[in-house]
Amino acid sequence: MQERQFSSMLDELRNAFQSGLTVSFAWRRAQLLALLRFLREREVDIAAAVHADLGKSAQETFLTETSFLAGEIRYALKHLKAWMRPSRRGVPPHYQFGHGAVHPEPRGVVLIIGAWNYPLQLVLAPLAAALAAGNCAVLKPSEHAPHTSALLARSAGEYFDSSAVRVVEGGIVEAGALLAERFDFIFYTGSRNGGREVMLAAARHMLPVALELGGKNPCIVEPDAALRTAARRIVWAKFLNAGQTCIAPDYLLVHEDVVSVLLSFMQQAIRDFFGADPRKSPDYSRIVNDHHFTRLERLLRDGTIVAGGHSERASRYIAPTILREIAAGSAIMEEEIFGPLLPVLTYRSFDEALAFIGQRDDSLALYLFSSKRATEKKALRQTRSGSFCCNDLLFQSAVHTLPFGGTGKSGFGRYHGKAGFETFSLSRSVLCKSVFPDPDLRYPPYGKSKFAILKAIVRLFG
Ligand code: NAD
């Protein structure tokens, strides 16, 4: 039954797309403005839904969800006309007369599957890019953020053009039924396992995909770093959303000479930000569900607790926790932590730290605290990651001019700002030729002398 519903929904969206509805600048602009209106008019409902899903404060929802999204949309509105313009390309003299250009064209009907940790941003930022690029879209928000998912489903008809945008609620079953349909592009945010399933399903239809996955993001702290600031920024980035952030630092690599000073600054920062008992802080989130709570409680045992370590199952609270003396080969250094546990490892030389990172999968983000440009350059040269941020964390994803995405097992495909528009567009190469001249030279029979002239021309211009 569901399959039949999805395929008739897809037929409707495809008809809308083929009618040319979504192509004009006016339509795209109107959709982006409607998205902005949704964020403004439903701000209170959004904050309540995200709080019900993750225990997140309204302030944090504003900072990490709605204000980021509004910024993305305003940036797109400002640049949309320029992005939509075909870009002219030179045509070499021996192919004249003609003009060449690359036209950004919508992909068609796209599927956007989101994760739960930033339940609004992870579906609406790709949606903004998809609409800016002139696509129809189906959103499948995460079933693990049911309040946000329900709000999106309820509001869709009111704000979005329902002939072009639909929201499908549900979990793996619904996602699987959607993936059985033939979309034109799939944009997926979530775990590696889910990403693998999406890629397999896409392969059946030979579909392009973008996968925004996770991984273990290292953060290196050099002895010349501004340690107090580094400590405050690391604590803020790690324990935001109770560590459930794909680009949060997963573990620290700290030079052994400064580890004790850094740890005491970090302990102080935890107290400053969340008080003596973070359970009572209105600014500290909860773990999304029992499955992840149990998983994180198990990881707590993989090291010696330096700060935090408390947990409370009833409210799915896990304190901001710092761990040392991590057991060799322990799970906490193998799987993505995705929670408020921060293992701290030490190194003796920078090369040792880089070698440690080099032995592991490419991460989504890599962080370095150092005051030396040469150290920054060396880290950039000798590591790979989707993004790199020096002397701060997370903000690389908030800058609209910087494309966001992973590399290797942390995913592929970019969005945010113009990169999102490009990801949801097809670059169509267009060459329009004059019918004059039409030299005989290009046509067979070539013969010896004709070929010699052709060769000379191609060598000169080709
Ligand atoms: P998840 O893979 O469990 O679910 C993500 C979405 O995919 C959900 O909507 C879910 O219903 C769907 N899904 C799950 N399994 C599926 C399958 N087999 N086939 C089709 N769809 C499926 O991931 P999650 O637990 O929601 O998210 C956590 C992961 O996402 C972490 O690894 C995190 O690092 C990553 N993440 C990455 C980014 C990024 O931008 N790169 C952002 C947020 C989260």
**pLDDT, tens only, 96-148:** 999 999 999 999 999 999 999 999 999 999 999 999 999 999 999 999 999 99
What pairs with residue 416 in β-bridges? Answer: none
Cα of 5 from ligand 1 centre, angstroms: 24
Question: Across-strand partners of 387?
Answer: 365
- Contact in structure between 216 and 360 (CB atoms under 8 Å): yes
Q: What local confidence, expressed as pLDDT, does residue 118 receive?
A: 97
CB 339 within 8 Å of CB 287: yes
Among all chains, which residue has been given the structure tokens 């440009």?
373
**How far, rounded to the nearest angstrom, does the alpha carbon of residue 22 sit from its chain's CA centroid?**
24
Q: Which of 111, 117, 191, 288 maximizes ligand 1 atoms within 8 Å of its Cβ, making it the mutation to test the pocket?
A: 191
Confirm whether 447 is domain-assigned. no
Residues 296 and 282: beta-carbon distance below 8 Å: no
**How far, in Å, are 96, 275, 436, 442 from residue 451 at the CA level?**
19, 82, 22, 9
Distance of CA 386 to the CA centre of its chain: 10
283 with 357, same domain: the answer is yes
CA 113 to ligand 1 center in whole angstroms: 8
- 212 carries an active-site annotation: yes
Number of domains in the chain: 2
Q: Based on the fold, state whether residues 226 and 205 are members of the same structural domain.
A: no
Q: Do both 173 and 278 map to the same domain?
A: no
Tell which atom from ligand 1 comes closest to the C-alpha of 140: 9
Q: Looking at residue 328, what is its pLDDT? A: 79
Atom from ligand 1 closest to the CA of residue 212: 41
Task: Examine residue 264 and state whether it is found in any structural domain, yes or no.
Answer: yes
Whether residue 201 is found in the same domain as residue 163: yes
Domain-embedded: residue 317:
yes
Backbone angles phi, psi at 170, to 5 degrees: 140, -175
Atom of ligand 1 nearest to the CA of 214: 34
pTM, to two decimals: 0.96
342, 370: one domain: yes
Average per-residue pLDDT for the chain? 96
Give the CA count within 13 Å in the CB-facing half-sphere of 151.
Answer: 23
260 and 390 in one domain?
A: yes
Decide whether any atom of ligand 1 lies within 6 Å of the 111 Cβ. no
Shared-domain flag, residues 200 and 253:
no
Q: Is there a domain that residue 461 lies in?
A: no
**What's the alpha-carbon Rg for the chain, to the nearest Å?**
26
Which residue's CA is the nearest one to ligand 1's atom 40?
212
> In the sheet where 98-106 sits, what is the strand order?
87-89, 98-106, 425-433
What 3-state DSSP class applies to 190? coil
CA separation for the pair 104, 427 (Å, rounded): 5
In this structure, the residue with its CA closest to atom 18 of ligand 1 is 194
How do residues 298-328 score in pLDDT, each as one tens digit? Answer: 999 999 999 999 999 999 999 999 999 998 7
169 is catalytic: no
Q: How confident is the model at residue 230 (pLDDT cuts 50, 70, 90)?
A: very high
Kindly report the CATH number assigned to the domain that includes residue 6: 3.40.605.10
Residue 1 has pLDDT above 60, yes or no: no
Question: Are 197 and 225 in a shared domain?
Answer: no
pLDDT tens, position by position, 246-289: 999 999 999 999 999 999 999 999 999 999 999 999 999 999 99
Q: How far is CA 269 from CA 154, 206, 260, 345, in A?
A: 40, 50, 14, 19
Contacts of 344 (CB under 8 A, 6+ apart): 251, 252, 254, 259, 263, 306, 322, 323, 324
Answer yes or no: is 441 within a domain.
no
Residue 457 included in any domain: no
Among 224, 218, 243, 209, residue whose Cα is nearest residue 107:
209
Residues 225 and 208 in one domain: no
Q: What is the pLDDT of residues 379-403, one digit of tens each?
A: 999 999 999 999 999 999 999 999 9
With a CB cutoff of 8 Å and minimum separation 6, the contacts of 171 are: 143
Residues 208 and 227 both lie in one domain = no
Could you tell me if 288 and 172 lie in one domain? no
Contact of 319 with 310, CB cutoff 8 Å: yes
The parent domain of residue 288 ranges over 218-405
- Structure token pair of residue 389: 């941020």
> Is 450 a domain residue?
no
| Atom number of ligand 1 nearest to Cα 193 | 2
Residue 415 CB–ligand 1 contact under 6 Å: no
- Same structural domain for residues 151 and 251? no
Which CATH number covers residue 290? 3.40.309.10
Task: Please report whether residue 283 resides in a domain.
Answer: yes
Percentage of the chain with pLDDT > 90?
A: 96
